[in-house]
Structures are given as structure tokens and as C-alpha cells.
Amino acid sequence: MAAIELTIIVLPMNRSQLIADTRQLVAEGERLQRAPSIAGLRVWLQLSDELLSRAWGQMDRYHLAWLMVGRSEAVRGRRMSAEEETAYVRDVATQKTAALRMSLKAVEEQNMPFLGEDPGPG
């Protein structure tokens, strides 16, 4: 069996940009909790996944399970009612917003280094 080489390309990002982008996503997560939208949730999850991956690397199922992101008590195997969909959006948005807040705290308060950190000003 041949060995597989993996190259990870991370675009540089300065600390102030990561903080600003994370704050914006936290605000959007809070908005989704107040006014749930499944379409909005999908876009927001994609954007937040991309930002967190750029900052901390790709998360596998173990990490996501540990963070409880996407683990909802919503109905499976059938179409959700409007009420169930609203509850699902709120639940997932609450969980992911908490993960974003942890990321923000790590960068802003604990000054942790992150992937792709541009050591330049900012």
C-alpha cells in the first residue's frame, strides 16, 4: 500500500481579522437563535466551519461530538414540522455559537496561537 502525503494549505490571517470575523459569526448565531431560518443556518454553519478550520484546523467527528455541535434532539427519518425545525435551528445555533465563543476567548483573552497566524501587525 502506497503512503499518502497530505499537504495542508492555510491562508494567513491576522489576529484582529480572526477576532472580527468570529465576533460577526457569534452575532449571526445569536440572530439565528432569535429568528430561526434553516437556510440561514446552513450558510452560517458553512461560514463558521470555514473560519474555524482556517484558525484551528479541520475538526473530525470526535471533536464535533465533544463540542456537541449538531447533536440535536430533532426528529430523524421524517420531515420536521415548522415547530421542530425552529427548535432544531435554535439548538444547533446555540451549540455552534458556544464553540465560536470558545475560539474567540482563546484568541482574544488567552492569546493562543492559531494556524495561519500572520505575525505581522494586527
Q: For residue 56, how far is the Cα from the chain centroid?
A: 10
Q: What is the pLDDT of residues 10-63, one digit of tens each?
A: 567 889 999 999 999 999 999 999 999 999 999 999 999 899 888 888 766 556
Q: What is the pLDDT of residues 89-107, one digit of tens each?
A: 999 999 999 999 999 999 9
Residues spanned by the domain of 86: 15-108
pLDDT of residue 57: 81
Tell whether pTM > 0.85.
no
23: Cβ contacts below 8 Å, ≥ 6 apart:
104
In a domain, 115, yes or no: no
User: Domain total for the chain?
Assistant: 1
In a domain, 97, yes or no: yes
d(CA 2, CA 15): 39
Confidence of residue 121 (pLDDT cuts 50, 70, 90): low
42: Cβ contacts below 8 Å, ≥ 6 apart:
none
| Distances 32 to 2, 107, 117 between C-alpha atoms, Å | 46, 24, 29
In a domain, 58, yes or no: yes
